């Protein structure tokens, strides 16, 4: 999800994307419900309306003939799976849901609001964007209805409610989620070399050193590989690195202060975290297996950053749960499982840390109308029924923080592991920081300075100072 989300942040209507994006939108506009092709995973989607029991839908009332329009950054196959998951709601209430996806969602939504062509519901992928929407168009964004609000309390943790809340009012309810604190590795390669999955951050560093020592004869093989290239959004994987490590070195409370700018961006604790990231990402002994030297991280597309693992040129690649789609793109026969070709382990916390932090992201359902059918549909999206329908319709690559989600419906092992991390009380969840910061930082200087940090070896201090200087005054 965030793969497309990140790209959506392109504000410029770059001509490069003209061919695909514009046309994709129009195809979407022509209605793309229906066929269930290309799940990419080899797994198959289930039938969402099998054994449908409409009893759980009685609260929504009779909505026959009503229509709810949805606007989202989710496109293609993922959008088709979304549309599929609305069918139980449509069949039980009689309402129709029209979903439209656009890769230019973030640029287009304000235009549509201004011109009055407002969708009933939009899926906003960043809390920061939600905040600016509420600030810029206070009349357009509607507070969440009572039923949906109740469901959020019942099915989600307090933290998720907070991310959809602006100035004390709930404007967004959580939809999907993803977990970013993962390190991808090859279980078979680990088994061959006799390596064990590290339990603590110290073990992780020790393992890296051991891999370096074991491969002294072959300088091409390195413990880590990485890539932060992503078009206009180049640098975001590096911001995830810093956020993940800051959560581990300074703890969730400092992280929250840093995200909300209660402490400056270049606080000494952040500098320490960046230094720790640098010990891996800017260590020529550790990176960049199969891809080149340190600066090659900046020129490698993030989609391809983990591929050397398959060639056994690198052993570890820190990237979010959604990276599993890239493995099946690379080779549909790769098995993503704990005993398969590739899998991921939790990016470990230091031994001294009591709680294990989890970095993640997700989308929020934001209503622009308060008609009964819109409120009912939003309530449905926060219900366990929808989560389970979505899990049934999606072979791989979708999870939710909904407590009512039946884990056994998820077919992909990495999705199951992600849900474990999200629902286990010994893990503390934190939302991606750059998605919460003001756009000038979170979708601007943070990305570009982290790219500079790697590409032209800019110093830790200069990078943090430059980002702090770019933080908007108000």
Partner 1 sequence: MSQAVPTTPDVDAPRGRKGGDVKPLKESRSDKAARKLSSKPASIIAICLAVLWTIPTFGLFVTSFRSPSEIRSSGWWSTLFTAEYSLDNYNDALFSGSTSFASYFLNSIVITLPAVIIPITIALLASYAFAWVDFKGRTFLFVAVFALQVIPIQVTLVPLLTQYVSWGIAGSFWPIWLSHTIFALPLAIFLLHNFMKDIPRELVEAARVDGAGHVKIFFQVLMPLLVPAIAAFGIFQFLWVWNDLLVGLTFGSAKGSHR
Residues near partner 1, by CB under 8 A: 13, 15, 17-30, 35, 37-38, 66-69, 71, 76-77, 80, 98, 100, 102, 104, 108, 111-112, 114-120, 307, 329-331, 368-369, 371
Q: How far is the CB of 176 from partner 1 (least distance, A)?
A: 18
Name the region of 51 (left: φ>0; alpha: ψ -120 to 50; beta: rest): left
Cβ closest to partner 1, residue 381 vs residue 464: 381
How far is residue 471's CA from residue 437's CA, in Å, rounded to a whole number?
Answer: 9
CB nearer partner 1, residue 20 or residue 260: 20
Strands (E), 9-135: 67-72, 96-101, 121-124
Beta strand residue intervals within 186-238, DSSP E = 222-224
Q: Closest CB to partner 1 among 60 and 201?
A: 60
Closest separation between CB of residue 30 and partner 1, Å?
7
CB of 19 to partner 1, least distance (A): 7
Least distance between partner 1 and beta carbon 26 (Å): 5
Closer Cβ to partner 1, 13 or 469, answer by number: 13
Q: In terms of CB distance, is 39 or 240 closer to partner 1? A: 39
Task: State how far the Cα of 381 lies from the Cα of 385, in Å rounded to an integer.
Answer: 8
271 CB-contact burial (10 Å; exposed 0-12 / middle 13-18 / buried 19+): middle
Compute the Cα dihedral for 56, 62, 65, 67 and give only its sign: negative
Minimum CB distance to partner 1 smaller for 29 or for 191: 29
Longest dimension (CA), the chain: 71
Q: Taking the complex as a whole, how short is the minimal distance between the CB of residue 205 and partner 1, in angstroms? A: 30
* CA-closest candidate to residue 441, choices 259, 311, 274: 259
* 69 versus 85: smaller Cβ distance to partner 1: 69
By beta-carbon proximity to partner 1, the closer residue of 24 and 205 is 24
Q: Which two tokens mark 131?
A: 């905040």
**How far is Cα 55 from Cα 197, in angstroms, rounded to an integer?**
46
Closest approach, Cβ 44 to partner 1, in A, equals 14
- Report the nearest approach of partner 1 to the CB of residue 428 (Å): 35
Q: Contact, 249 vs 277, CB < 8 A?
A: no
> Whole-angstrom Cα distance, residue 59 to residue 45?
28
Burial of residue 330 (CB within 10 Å: 0-12, 13-18, 19+) is middle
List all residues 6 or more positions away from 202 whose beta carbon is below 8 Å from its beta carbon: 350, 351
> Shortest Cβ distance from residue 120 to partner 1 (Å)?
5
Bridge partners of 343, per DSSP, are 185
Instruction: Give the Cα separation of 355 and 346 in Å (integer).
Output: 13
For residue 302, the minimal CB distance to partner 1 (Å) is 15
Task: Give me the least distance between CB of 68 and partner 1, in Å please.
Answer: 8
367 torsion bin: left (phi>0), alpha (psi -120 to 50), beta (else): beta
Q: How far is the CB of 16 from partner 1 (least distance, A)?
A: 10
Dihedral of CA atoms 343, 2, 78, 110 in degrees, nearest 10, equals: 180
Q: Which CB atom, from 68 or from 287, has the smaller least distance to partner 1? A: 68
**Shortest reach from residue 304's CB to partner 1, in Å:** 8
What's the rounded Cα separation, in Å, for the pair 61 and 287? 58
Nearer to partner 1, 105 or 255 (CB): 105
End-to-end CA distance of the chain: 31
Minimum CB distance to partner 1 smaller for 70 or for 401: 70
For residues 118-143, one letter each, b for 16 or more C-beta atoms within 10 angstroms of the residue's C-beta and e for the rest, the string is: bbbbbbbbbbbbbbbbbeeeeebbbe
326 vs 434 by CB, closer to partner 1: 326
């Amino acid at each position: 999800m965030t793969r497309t989300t990140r790209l959506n942040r392109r504000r410029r209507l770059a001509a490069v994307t003209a061919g695909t994006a514009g046309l994709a939108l129009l195809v979407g506009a022509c209605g793309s419900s229906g066929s269930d092709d290309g799940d990419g995973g080899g797994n198959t989607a289930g039938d969402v309306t099998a054994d449908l029991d409409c009893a759980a839908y009685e609260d929504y009332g009779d909505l026959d003939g009503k229509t709810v329009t949805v606007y989202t950054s989710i496109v293609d196959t993922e959008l088709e799976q979304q549309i599929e998951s609305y069918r139980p709601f449509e069949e039980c209430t009689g309402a129709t849901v029209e979903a439209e996806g656009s890769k230019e969602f973030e640029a287009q939504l304000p235009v549509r609001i201004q011109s009055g062509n407002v969708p009933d519901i939009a899926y906003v992928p960043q809390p920061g964007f939600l905040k600016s929407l509420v600030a810029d168009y206070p009349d357009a964004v509607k507070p969440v209805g009572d039923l949906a609000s109740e469901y959020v309390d019942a099915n989600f943790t307090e933290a998720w409610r907070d991310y959809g809340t602006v100035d004390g009012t709930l404007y967004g309810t959580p939809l999907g989620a993803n977990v970013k604190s993962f390190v991808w590795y090859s279980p078979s390669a680990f088994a061959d070399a006799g390596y064990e999955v590290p339990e603590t951050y110290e073990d992780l560093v020790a393992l890296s050193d051991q891999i370096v020592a074991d491969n002294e004869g072959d300088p091409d093989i390195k413990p880590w590989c990485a890539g932060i290239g992503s078009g206009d959004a180049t640098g975001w994987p590096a911001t995830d690195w810093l956020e993940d490590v800051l959560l581990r070195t300074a703890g969730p409370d400092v992280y929250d202060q840093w995200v909300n700018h209660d402490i400056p961006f270049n606080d000494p604790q952040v500098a320490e975290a960046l230094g720790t990231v640098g010990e891996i990402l800017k260590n020529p002994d550790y990176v960049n297996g199969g891809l080149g030297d340190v600066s090659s991280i900046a020129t490698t597309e993030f989609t391809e950053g983990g591929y050397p693992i398959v060639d056994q040129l690198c052993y570890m690649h820190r990237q979010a749960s959604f990276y599993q789609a890239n493995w099946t793109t690379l080779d549909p026969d790769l098995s993503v499982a704990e005993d398969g070709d590739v899998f991921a382990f939790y990016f470990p916390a230091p031994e001294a840390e009591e709680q294990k932090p989890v970095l993640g992201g997700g989308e929020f359902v934001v209503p622009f109308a308060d008609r009964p059918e819109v409120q009912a549909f939003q309530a449905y999206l926060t219900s366990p029924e929808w989560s389970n329908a979505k899990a049934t319709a999606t072979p791989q690559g979708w999870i939710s923080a909904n407590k009512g989600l039946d884990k056994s419906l998820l077919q992909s092992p990495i999705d199951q592991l992600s849900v474990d991390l999200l629902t286990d009380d010994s893990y503390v969840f934190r939302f991606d920081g750059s998605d919460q910061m003001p756009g000038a930082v979170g979708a601007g200087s943070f990305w570009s300075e982290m790219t500079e940090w790697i590409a032209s070896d800019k110093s830790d201090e200069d990078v943090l100072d430059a980002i702090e200087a770019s933080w908007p005054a108000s």
